[in-house]
Each structure stands twice: as structure tokens, then as C-alpha cells.
Structure 1
Amino acid sequence: MKEQEFKAVVIGGCGTVGSLMARVLKDNGVDVTVSDLSTDSPQINILEEEGIKLNLGEHDENILKNVDVIVVAPSLLQNSKLIGKIKSVTDADIISADEILSTCKVSKPVVGITGTNGKTTTTWMLKNILNLSGYRTPEHKLKMQGNTELIPSFQARLDGDIAVLEIGTHGNPDEIKNCALKSEVGIGIITNISKDHLSGSHNFQDYINCKREIVDVARCLIFNADDPVVTGFSNDTSHKVFFYGIEGIDSEIEAYPETRECPLCGKELEYSLHYLGHLGVYKCSCGFKRKEPDVKAFDVKNNSFKLVIGSNTAEVKLKQAGIHNVYNALAAASGASALNIDFDDIVRGIESFEGVKGRFQKVNIGKQVIIDYAHNPAGVKAIIQTLIREKPETSRLIVVNTVSSESGITGDIEIAKILKDADVIVVASNASRKASSKINVDNYVILTESSKKASKIGTLGASRAQVEESLNLAVNEAKKEDIILIIGEGGVKYSSEILGKFKN
């Protein structure tokens, strides 16, 4: 079919996937109308800006009768009453999301970024490099991460020159593989793999296997050489693999060392250096060892390093401090290098990157407040490592814990142990309250009244009321020179709005 001759109605087009289907069809020359019972959606303005016609509050039969195809959002395909009504009005074909994906092919390079931590920051940093180099990157424009299921697949098909996609997982088999296949990922980046999503029947090896799935899809792979779990994947692929890693670091930076088992023989690895958690320089008696990086960071400090790619060298200063952000910068630089981006543009893109909302996000209320999405032990280690190194000796670190770990009580207890380096802990979530009661702590723990009640919804560990009570206590506790750190998804979702009242 010649798509430019077609008229289509997208039923449910104001929803998450429905809006992306409409935009992809529009970009492929289809005359698109979105029909949705909703009249209030954040996607409406986006659809209007892209020239998509809207039929809101109803499904106008006259519109349905005069189109070539009816596209139904995935959430509505099983609505027999709706499908019956459509069929009673028109003989037009009813098509699904998968049919659009198979018809509208990807015609651009696609980079897929996965891993436990650093996906979002690496994704946006790489996009910043590409944008400064003159390349357009398609955006889903959703007020969410949008890194699972169909969202990345449609994002890859939106108008742009190079697609950079964050690809996540809930720890279920085939999620990443199917997403990468449908997105037609050509370059795959794995940032790191640490323990997450281990509740219920999931174990760490299952989670590793999920993350490994991108290896079977991407033709070019970029691995963190300092992560033995990720490096182990290089032994069972014939595709081209590039490595990035740290070659020298400030010895005074606390690494919170962990060990890992050799991915080849299962013995405990021997580390000569730890950089952050299980990331470092390692080897095994069986012969497995850290790979030589292609993209390197020398003289690493909390917010600067020397970047080396081949014969090119530059001093790089980060606007977002932390060893974890050095790794994010190396991953982004590696992706850009694989896309043949000029070295000077890579440096410029890294240094000008302002960060991502909810990732080391600073809020000024007359006291220092930082909001961070850190929600698993590795992520919490990274942010605590950064702040302990940066904060003045006279300042206290006050942590508001809104986390409810995806690895259950084991993950919550591990996070509580890491937070022993803070001066004051304010427990917002019920999970953090339970975890704090199971360890011996020398620091000052403030238990909120609302944390007595469990209120986890999906991955959201704390309710708005719990976050608000904990923030009131933290702000009242903090002196001007102290730092308030808010961790967890609940903190990211609610804190900015709640903190607004303290600015006045």
C-alpha cells in the first residue's frame, strides 16, 4: 500500500502508545485523526503541534466511515463492545500496533541502552552529543521513562536522524530481546549489571540473562570493561565489541567494594582495584580478566577526568559530579565514537550536559536539597559516594529514604546499611522503616508516623503523604549548611511540588 494515500483513525490515540502510533503514521505520510473519549490528556498539545486532527469526547461515525484503516490502541483491542461498534459502522480494516511496526520500518541508526543504573543519564548525554553535532534524535515526549514494551519501538520510528533508546526490564525473560528486535537496535550499550528486580521467583542469574538479551540483537556492542558481569558477555558473541573503563582514579574516593563470581568458572574474582561497588580491575585463576578499554578515563576525580579515545585526548569537566557519572560519560562517548562523531563534539556534548530531572537534581529552598532516583543498592552507593566526597566537613548529610526495593526486604536492608554513612536518616516508606529496624545504626534515624502504613503501588515505594511528612521533618531538622538528599521514585515524583512551599 502507498501510505501517503491513506487516511487513518487512531482509536485511543491520546494514550501512551496510541499517541506514538498516530505520530509514526503521520511521519510516514498518513492523514491521521485521533479519536478518543478523553478530552484531557498531556498528549493533546503534542498531537496538535504535529498536525494530527483530533476527535475528542466521542468516536464520530462520519469520521470512521471515511477512512481506509482503523488503528486501535493495544489497551482497547480486547474491548469487544468498541470493536463491535466500529465494525457496525465501517468495513475498513482494523489494525494493531504490531502491524504498524511491521509496515513502518526503521530507516535510521538505532542505539539501545540497557543496564541496571545509568541508562537514563547515558541516553540523554548521548543525545546531547548528537544534537550538538547537528543530528536530530526522535523523542517520545511522554512524561515517563518509557523504556519498556512498545514505547521504544515506536520512538525509533519517529522523525529523526539517529534514535537513542533507553531499554529497561522488569526482570522478565524476552522483554529486552523483543523490544530491541522491534526497535531494530544496531548498537547496544550495557552500562552495568547489579542486583535489582530480585523479588519473588527472580534470582540474580535470571536478571543477568534478561540484560544479556540485547547481545543477541545488536550488531555492535559497547560494554563496561570494569563490570565483570557485563564483560563476560563478550565471550559468547561474534559481533564487534567495544569496551570503556577507568584507568586511574583518586585513591581517596570511597568505593564501597563488592565482589563478584567469575562468569566463566564461578569462583570469586580477585580485585586489585575497586572503583564503585563491583566495578574495578579484576581477574580469575581460570584466565578470565578485565578487558583493555577502547575508551578510557584517566586521572578520575569526582567531577573531572582525562578522556582518551584512540590518539585523541581531552580534559573533561562534568556538571554532574560522581564516579557513576564518569561511567555514564564514558558510555555516551563510546556510543558517539561508534557513530563516528567528531572527538571535539563528544567532549563538548559531555561538558555541556546539564543532567536529567530526578538524577542528582538540585533544588534551592534556602537549604541544599538534592533529589535522586537511586532506588537500588548500587544506585544508592553511587550517590552517597559522590556526596560524602563533596560535602564540607561542617555539613551533615540528611537522607530522606522513599525507596521500596524491587528486591524486597534484602535490598531494603542493604540500602539501610549503605545509609549508615549519612548523619541523619528520615524514613518515608514503610519498607525503609522495616529495614532500619533490622540493623544497628549509630546515626540519627527519624521515623515518620505515616511510614507505619504500607503504601507501595507498582514501583512507587512511598505515597505523597509519606513524602510530604518526611520532607517537613527533614527541612526542619536541616541547618543552612546541611545537605538534604531525597532518594527513590516517590521522592522524584512528589518532592519538587512539595518543596515549592518552602521557597516562599
Structure 2
Amino acid sequence: MEIQEVVDAVNGKLVGNDEFFSIDGFTGNFTFLNDSHTGDIVIRHWINDIGIEMAFNKNIACLITQNPKDGAIEMAEKLNFPLIITDSIELANAFALSYTVEKFSPNSTNIVITGTNGKSTTSHLIYHILKTAGFNVFTNTDSESEFNTLIDPMVSKLIVDEVNTNGELDYLVIEVSEVQGWLGKLMKNHAALMCEALNPEVGVITNIAMDHIGLVNSIDDVFDEISTVPNAIGDGICVLNHDDDLVMKLDAKNPFYTSMSELDKLNSVYYNGNEIVYQSDVFLKRQDLPFTGNHFIQNILSAIGACISLGLDKENIIEGVKSYKALNRRFAKLNDQPLIYDDFAHNPDGIKATISETIKLLPENQTLYVVCSIRGSRGVEINQLNVEAIVESMDDNIELILSSSNDVVNDLNFVEPEEKKVFFDTLNENNVDFIHYDNLNECLSETYEKADKNDIILLIGAQGMDPAESLLKDII
């Protein structure tokens, strides 16, 4: 490949050398500056003159950036080092992903999963089913959702590492954020761009709901981002949540439907309250499922729908679902008496679904303690929507406890005064009683001491609740 092909692919401008810098050209690896070796291509959102010097000394093929600053261009010209400047760094990462798959995993069958809620559980379950069936599989889904943003070359790098370590891949299961941005700016059509780069045989769209406030400001904005995904999936099969009105407005060429109620469609799998059914054939009974909350069953349906669409044997699908263990913080049970559940509910739909499912488990005349970490440094809007979801979910048997988690979060997740204020004001306006703790450790200790052995404690929230499990081990 010539450097001009890269320039054209990312709609870029080339400064410095007009050829790859390394003597042997491009190795085929896209990576980060710190991890780079001779002949690699580095993708960075920004670079300065010091970074250009580092790239020069590492003898990499070229560097792609969206934001050259502090003399980066001048240094590239001085060192005669090839620097590609693009207005859209997502084009570079999509190109890196497409090139990597074509070069290192050309024979794999690719699956993409997007939507607002349930992506990680669905992706990880598909991965587990395929692994259980004996296939060599890669997924970018992990318990902390570190690798599913696709705003850098991490997934491209990981695919190369996986192939070099374990050999040719049979399947790629790639989770794609439905809305993505950088420094408050929306990366338009991010999900579609990444889906198209993967050329998937199957795509899953879990649901369409509000999250990522600031990047998008209305449900219509979210729909606009996801609406381009079916076209990017092209002739592949699109697994759609039939119960989501907005998902059902999507124009998919080859749809396959999932539902929590009976569907009279040939290309569908549904749950009738007791069994998962496909074409009048019972796949699994309720007692066989690894978890039985409605939103988790919807994720199971999506995963089964994807695996049916891949042509996987029924027996392999059943075995994979039965043996599945959930990701961390996906309604994970941390204790028995009192029952403590931990869930990564961090947006309105997730909050309402998780509280609704948990209260069904509550014994009569017992208390559900909802312990929620306020989302720090994410803005007033998402916290306003989250607290409204809590208000809507309140019940006579619920006690609400809030945490700012100052003792466990870094500067990037610190709860700002206005974020705390919108929580307090909304709860007070709706006459909802609550307790607030600045620190998560004290919050968990006090709640645990207060709870009866037959009560339930539900932990919800994003980064501010992530350390809860380790803290509770010491508390309990």
C-alpha cells in the first residue's frame, strides 16, 4: 500500500515526507505511539512537536492526527516525516479496522452489536456461545467497557495481537457505540461507519434510548445516528428488537426480530413468559436461563437471534446460554443476606428497567435500598434524566441513597456541584426522601448496617459505583 492510499481513505492532507518513513514501508499494524515499532502507522487525536520527534525516532511509517498543535506541522516538515492531517479521526479508525480485518482476519464471519442498552451483555453472550461451540473468536467487549468505543486503533491492535497469538479467527464479535464523540463533538454516523468497516454478516440493534447527553440532545438525534446502521449492514441480517417502537422504524433489508411476547413471524425468536421459542420450537425454558430479568432476557433473545442467523446448531446455542456467566456489574449478585445486586445502570432506561426487575424479587414488607452514584463530570442533562427515572421508579418499599463517590473517582468523574444540585432539587420537588454521602465507602457501610437480612440492596451507576464490589468485601 502506498501512503497516498491512506491519505485518500481518511480524506487527509499530507505534510512532510510524501512516502512512508520506514525503509520497508508499512507493516500493516495500526497502533498507539507508545506501543509503536518500525513500520507501524500511529493514529492520535492530537500530536505536538515532541510527539512528532518520538515518531521520527521510532521510525514508524507515518502518523495520522486530527489536531496538530504546538509546532507539530513545522517539526514534521523539518524532519521530513510524513504526517497526515484529517478533519475526521473516525475515518482513520474505520480505515484501520477495515484494513486490519481484510489483512489479518479475511475469512472470519463478523457480527456487530449496537444500541443504547444491552450491547455488552449481548456481545459477550454471543462471544461465549461461539467459544463454547469450539470456535476461535475475538470480541472487544470487556467488563469495564474499555475497548468498545472504536475512537482509537485499540481494536485493530487487539485483533492483530489475537491472530498472532491464537491463529486465524473464525468470528469477530464487535460492540459498537451507538453514539460517539470526542471533546464534546459528535462523530457523525460513527456506528454506521464502524459497521461498514467490518462488513458484518449479522448486525444486532438492541434498542434506541437517551444517553450521551451533549453529543446528542434528543431521542430524534439518537435515532438519526442509529438509522444509518441497517444500510451499513447491507445484505447482512439485522437482528431487531420488535418491542422497541423506534427500532421498528428502521429500514433493514434482511430483518430478524426478537420479542418478549409471541410473534407470528417466520424470522423471529420470542419469549412467551415461560419459554424461548423459534419457529414453534422451544429453545430454552425459563429455569434454564442464566438470569431472568426482562431486560436480560431481551439480551438473550438478541444473542440467540444472532446465532440462529449465523446458522449455528441449536444444541450449541442452548449449551452456550445455559453455561453463561454475566459480565461484572451486569446485575451481579454480590451477597445473599441481605441480597446485594450490582448493575451498570447509568442512563434512564437502564435505571428504570433494573429497579423494576429488582423490586419483583423483594419479599413482602421488606425494603429495597437503591444506592445510586451520581454521574460525575457528565453534565446536568444526563443527571436530570437519571434522577427523573429514579423518581418514576420510586415505590413505598424503596429507600434511596445517593453517593458522590469522592473517595474513589478521579478528576474525570468528579461530581460537580450543579450535577449534585439537579439530583437534590428534582427529588425535593417530587417529595422523594433520600440520604446523600460524599464518599462511597461510608455510603455502602451505613447501608449494609441498616439493611435487614431479608432486604435487598441494589447498586446502580457508572464510574462512581465501579469500586463497590471490592469495598463491600471488606465491609461484609
Is the TM-score greater than 0.5? yes
Residues in 2 aligned to 1:74 and 1:392: alpha-carbon distance in whole angstroms: 53
For the residue of structure 1 that corresponds to 2:325, the secondary structure is coil
Q: CA deviation at 1:134?
A: 1.3
**Does 1:481 pair with 2:469?**
no
Matched to 1:437, the amino acid is D
For the residue of structure 2 that corresponds to 1:437, the secondary structure is helix
Q: 1:152 to 1:226 in 2, by over 3 A?
A: farther
Matched to 2:48, the amino acid is N
Residues in 1 aligned to 2:332 and 2:387: alpha-carbon distance in whole angstroms: 25
Q: What is the match of residue 230 of structure 2? A: 215
Q: CA deviation at 1:471?
A: 1.4
| Per-residue CA distance 1:129-151 (angstroms, 9 max, x = gap) | 11111112114486731222244
Matched to 1:415, the amino acid is A
**Does 1:412 pair with 2:400?**
no
Whether contact under 8 Å (2:204, 2:240) holds in the other structure is yes
Match of 1:165 among 174, 184, 187: 174
Match of 1:426 among 393, 398, 401: 401
| Per-residue CA distance 1:52-97 (angstroms, 9 max, x = gap) | xx8xxxx9xxxx7xx4x1443525x62322323553685x633556
Q: What is the match of residue 271 of structure 1? A: none
Residues in 2 aligned to 1:241 and 1:401: alpha-carbon distance in whole angstroms: 37
Match of 1:309 among 250, 269, 278: 278
Q: 1:476 to 1:491 in 2, by over 3 A?
A: farther
Q: 1:337 to 1:432 in 2, by over 3 A?
A: farther
Residues in 2 aligned to 1:119 and 1:467: alpha-carbon distance in whole angstroms: 27
Matched to 1:314, the amino acid is F
The 5 A counterparts of 1:84-483 are 84=53, 86-87=55-56, 93-94=61-62, 100-101=96-97, 103-104=99-100, 105=102, 106-107=105-106, 108-140=108-140, 144-145=144-145, 146-148=147-149, 149-150=151-152, 151-152=154-155, 158-159=162-163, 160-170=169-179, 172=186, 173-199=188-214, 202-218=217-233, 219-234=236-251, 237=252, 239-247=253-261, 292=265, 294-300=267-273, 305-316=274-285, 317-364=288-335, 367-404=338-375, 407-421=381-395, 422-429=397-404, 431=419, 434-439=422-427, 444-448=433-437, 450=438, 466-483=439-456
Matched to 1:246, the amino acid is M
Q: CA deviation at 1:469?
A: 2.9
Which TM-score applies when normalising by structure 1?
0.68
Q: CA deviation at 1:492?
A: 3.9
**How much identity, in percent, do the aligned residues show?**
22
Residues in 2 aligned to 1:206 and 1:389: alpha-carbon distance in whole angstroms: 33
Matched to 1:494, the amino acid is P
Q: What is the match of residue 26 of structure 1? A: none
Residues in 1 aligned to 2:445 and 2:328: alpha-carbon distance in whole angstroms: 22
Residues in 2 aligned to 1:371 and 1:433: alpha-carbon distance in whole angstroms: 25
Q: What is the match of residue 265 of structure 1? A: none
Residues in 2 aligned to 1:499 and 1:324: alpha-carbon distance in whole angstroms: 26
Matched to 2:44, the amino acid is P
Q: CA deviation at 1:314?
A: 3.0
Whether contact under 8 Å (2:196, 2:232) holds in the other structure is yes
Q: What is the match of residue 459 of structure 1? A: none
For the residue of structure 2 that corresponds to 1:475, the secondary structure is helix
For the residue of structure 2 that corresponds to 1:391, the secondary structure is coil
Q: What is the match of residue 287 of structure 1? A: none
Q: 1:378 to 1:36 in 2, by over 3 A?
A: closer
Q: 1:476 to 1:162 in 2, by over 3 A?
A: same
Q: CA deviation at 1:339?
A: 0.5
Residues in 2 aligned to 1:296 and 1:497: alpha-carbon distance in whole angstroms: 38
Matched to 1:207, the amino acid is V
Q: CA deviation at 1:162?
A: 0.7
Matched to 2:342, the amino acid is I
Q: 1:490 to 1:419 in 2, by over 3 A?
A: farther
Matched to 1:112, the amino acid is V
Whether contact under 8 Å (2:31, 2:156) holds in the other structure is no
For the residue of structure 1 that corresponds to 2:342, the secondary structure is strand
Whether contact under 8 Å (2:356, 2:393) holds in the other structure is no
For the residue of structure 1 that corresponds to 2:138, the secondary structure is coil
Whether contact under 8 Å (1:400, 1:425) holds in the other structure is yes
Q: 1:467 to 1:242 in 2, by over 3 A?
A: same
Residues in 1 aligned to 2:58 and 2:246: alpha-carbon distance in whole angstroms: 56
Q: What is the match of residue 23 of structure 2? A: none
Whether contact under 8 Å (1:398, 1:423) holds in the other structure is yes
Matched to 2:399, the amino acid is V
Which TM-score applies when normalising by structure 2?
0.71
Residues in 1 aligned to 2:207 and 2:58: alpha-carbon distance in whole angstroms: 52
Whether contact under 8 Å (1:401, 1:427) holds in the other structure is yes
Q: Which runs of 5+ in 2 are unaligned?
A: 2-25, 65-91, 164-168, 181-185, 405-414
| Per-residue CA distance 1:317-338 (angstroms, 9 max, x = gap) | 2222201111111100000001
Matched to 1:312, the amino acid is D
Residues in 1 aligned to 2:398 and 2:314: alpha-carbon distance in whole angstroms: 42
For the residue of structure 1 that corresponds to 2:311, the secondary structure is coil
Matched to 2:138, the amino acid is P
